[in-house]
Structure 1
Amino acid sequence: MGKRILFLGAAPTQVPPLHYARAQGHYIITCDYLPDNPGHKLADEWHNVSTTDKDAVLELAKQLKIDGIVAYASDPAAPTAAYVAEKMGLPGNPYQSVLTLARKDLFRAFLKEHGFNVPRSQSFYDREEARVWLSEIGLPAFIKPVDSSGSKGVTKLTNASEFDKAFDHALNYSREKLVVVEQQIVRTRYQVAGDGFIVDGKLVFRSWADEHFDKLCNGLVPIGQTFPTSHPKPWLEVAHAESQRLLSLLGMKTGALNFDYVFDESGNFYFLELGPRNGGCLIPEVIRYATGIDLIKYTVDAAVGIPCHALKMEPAKGFWSSYMVHSLEDGVFKELWLSDRVQTKIVEQDIYVKPGDKVRKYLGSNDTLGTMILKFEDLNEMLEMVDNMENDIRVQVE
């Protein structure tokens, strides 16, 4: 018997769970404020309600008598889903815990309070107070909104004279109008990304990747993740233990997680984010290729209370990557140039633009022009190609 499931958001990246839910015979309801989003076409009904308006979504959910709620690959919608689930007694995680994970200021304060490694970081409504704090922690520093996702509104500040511009940029992407000013951790090796899943409070599965950025555009927005991560196993065991400690302290129960963390030059572990939701950037899809584990299925099942006890750790087999097709400059899209060698690596590709479309320089996940999943022969080939992808994939604009 199908269940009535409310999906928060219907963007291209949020379509995979809709396909799974449809295949299971569930009744699909989507909501967001963008009527043209493709997920609405897969729904049995859709509603023009902002996914961040938690009380409006709760009203809608009550009227529709839903059995479950899903915020897939969306940081801003995750607290809303938890709030509705808590108010209606549906499967989900504690609202306050999800809010803590989703908001950078609350997350940093929680980490500090419980003795995790944490960069010096404070949040400000007031620009001048933020400026004083910046002079205290020094440069380089990150200026970012407390509540955006997809690296939108983030600046790596290396010159104090650019502070006002960075503060305004962060404000522009913050609903709360609250800006984080944070010391940069000097990391060793790659930043680590990937997804995991908790069942009954235990981190039963995680698949971690090296995260790649494009040094030719802004260097802050991920362009791809390569599985498996190249980090040493003992470091990953520390990351697992610290993740479990954090999830236990927060009383998280069941559901998907998206990781971002680094190790500093001394090998100390630092959380950047632990999102209470699936990752974007095709992370769940690549994990399905690499491990055979379908986190999209488990996310939908968990939302309607179907037990997820079959889920267990599986290592990545082979060498897999996601890739975000992007432009290095503003202009009009002409064509996508692919080298001969990369064409043999592409397993899936989905290009959102056609010749004549306006494209923007890649400054946030909202500037993605398409996605790919690639398979490589070995770790070295994968890292070398993804780190220098301009040699193999180029968006040509005029």
Structure 2
Amino acid sequence: MPKVLLVDTNFSSTPIHDYLLQSGYDVYVCGGNPLDSLAKSCKNYINIDYSDTEAMHALVKTMKFDFVVPGCNDRSYRACANLVGDMYFGLDSAETEQIINNKELFRAFALEHGLSVPRVVASPLTQDIWPLIVKPVDAYSGRGMSIISTSEQHKLQNAITKAETFSNTNTCIIEEFVQGQLYSHSAFLRNGDFQAEFIVEEHGTANPFVVDTSWVVHDFPEKMLEKVRADILRMAKELRLTDGLIHTQFIANDSSFWLIEVTRRCPGDLYSKLIESSTGFKYIEAYVAPFLNQNFFADKQKHQYVNILRHTISQSEEKIFNSIQFNTQLRINAYIPLCMPGDRVKASPFGRIGLLFAQVSEQQAFLALQQKVLSRDIYTLH
């Protein structure tokens, strides 16, 4: 029985773990938090800080895994990319991973190759690009970000200090704050082209820097999509990306768009379930295939189209959670609790209460549901 190491123990990686197990693999999981979902439920849990490259090399050498699979966070993919020298499949090099996931390196690469990205600001107090957004170069989930308007220039240094605090390298990037609608383009590369692709509209209701509400868009404008595709494929070619998932967040406004972040690991908060429930596409199977040295053929699948809304229940300030009172009738496709009554839940992005998938048949009712969720009227937290 082939032995697989899944490098992540968060609940978002549960579908990956379950698929590997159902496919007949001997599955191990690793991570540094014994209280994580998979750490508690998987019999083959290895307590290890997978950001420790030497420890990971020693682990795979000792255990002789046949395959390693990244989970649902950037650190997980980085840990796996650092093992490329140990002859594992489907992974970009550590150098390529750095270009993609370090915001400063990615912006420099994008400008060199003519990709559409927000302008980077070198000397913010001597130019007229406002508002600005300040970000850690290597953090995730909206951590350490600030928007600074013209009237708030005096707060810029505080924003820089905050961003550097959330960076492992104490480094931040300052760029123009582009306004528009946030989307994700989740696609599977094969031989330099897209084998399958999906557009998801994304919103942050509890925290403007953190996506907590999303749904699949089936009628995204084709002209805009062609431009987005062209930039992503150019990037894939220049970086010589391996076959597999490429997940890109971008902001669109009228006829313009800007690439914001790119990753090659599976998105978190059960993004895979959103795609699978909305379209019938086997997202996890497609994601895992390259790491198992397999091909995945999307054209064999028959797609369905179902209105599914994914919402992460969270709050804008730290509070004790006791219960949820829903203020409207819902057809709940799935609900995953992430805390218990009496827990003190931190503000987004550091705390989450639950993950909700709601299904609506009629399009107008789906639009109404979207508005209720975006206005945070769909439930009351006690």
Same-fold status (TM-score > 0.5): yes
Matches within 5 A, 1:1-398: 2-84=1-83, 86-95=84-93, 96-121=95-120, 132-133=123-124, 135-136=126-127, 138-158=129-149, 159-187=152-180, 190-214=181-205, 217-228=206-217, 231-265=220-254, 267-310=255-298, 317-341=305-329, 343-344=330-331, 346-362=332-348, 364=349, 366-389=350-373, 390-396=376-382
User: For residues 134 and 76 of structure 1, what CA distance do their matches in structure 2 show?
Assistant: 34
Distance 1:301 1:44, change over 3 A: farther
AA aligned opposite 1:218? N
The amino acid that maps onto 1:164 is Q
Q: Which amino acid aligns with 2:22?
A: A
Could you tell me how far 1:241 is from its partner in structure 2?
2.3
Cα offset, 1:40, TM superposition: 1.9
- Which digits, 9 at most, give the CA deviation of each residue in 1:224-278, with x for residues without a partner? 111125531221122122212211111112222222012234x123211121111
User: Secondary structure at the residue paired with 2:265?
Assistant: coil
How far did residue 79 of structure 1 move? Answer: 2.2
Q: Describe the SS at the equivalent of 1:391.
A: coil
Note closer, same or farther for the CA distance 1:379–1:78 as it changes in structure 2 (3 Å cut): farther
CA displacement at 1:392 relative to structure 2? 1.0
String of CA shifts for 1:366-387, please: whole Å, max 9, x gaps: 3221101112234554344334
Q: 1:305 to 1:243 in 2, by over 3 A?
A: same
How much identity, in percent, do the aligned residues show? 20
- What is residue 126 of structure 1 aligned with on the other side? none
Matched residue count: 377
Q: C-alpha distance in 1, partners of 2:16/2:342? A: 31
2:6 & 2:266 partners in 1: Cα distance?
13
Distance 1:55 1:203 in 2: 35
> Given residue 152 of structure 1, which amino acid in structure 2 is its aligned partner?
R
Gaps of 5+ in 2: none
> Is contact 1:212-1:224 (8 Å) kept?
yes
Which letter does structure 2 place at the counterpart of 1:255?
G
| CA deviation after TM superposition for structure 1 residue 107, in Å | 0.9
Any stretches of 5+ residues in structure 1 without a counterpart?
123-129
Q: Secondary structure at the match of 2:49?
A: coil
Label 1:165 to 1:377 Cα distance change in 2 as closer, same or farther (>3 A): farther
SS in 2 for 1:367: coil
Deviation string 1:280-302 (CA, Å, 9 cap, x unpaired) is: 13211111112211221222232
Secondary structure, aligned partner of 1:271: strand
Q: Matched residues in 1 for 2:242 and 2:319: separation? A: 46
The 2-side partners of 1:383 and 1:165 are apart by: 39
Cα deviation, 1:31-78, whole Å, max 9, x if unaligned, reads 221111111234343323222223321221122111111112211221
CA–CA separation in structure 2 for the residues paired with 1:312 and 1:225:
27
Q: Is the 8 A contact 1:326 1:361 kept in 2?
A: yes
Q: Quick one: distance in 1 between partners of 2:178 and 2:120?
A: 11
2:127 aligned counterpart, secondary structure: helix
Q: Distance in 1 between matches of 2:303 and 2:253?
A: 25
For 1:151 and 1:316, how far apart are their aligned partners in 2?
Answer: 32
Taking structure 2 as the reference length, what is the TM-score of the superposition?
0.91
Write the distance in 2 (CA, Å) between the matches of 1:230 and 1:176: 41
CA 1:202–1:175 in 2, change beyond 3 Å: closer, same or farther? same
Distance 1:387 1:156, change over 3 A: farther
Q: What is the root-mean-square deviation in Å for CA atoms of aligned residues?
A: 2.2
TM-score (norm 1): 0.88
Q: Is the 1:195–1:256 contact (alpha carbons within 8 Å) kept by the matching residues of 2? A: yes
Separation in structure 2 between the aligned mates of residue 83 and residue 164 of structure 1, nearest angstrom? 34
Paired residue type of 2:167:
S
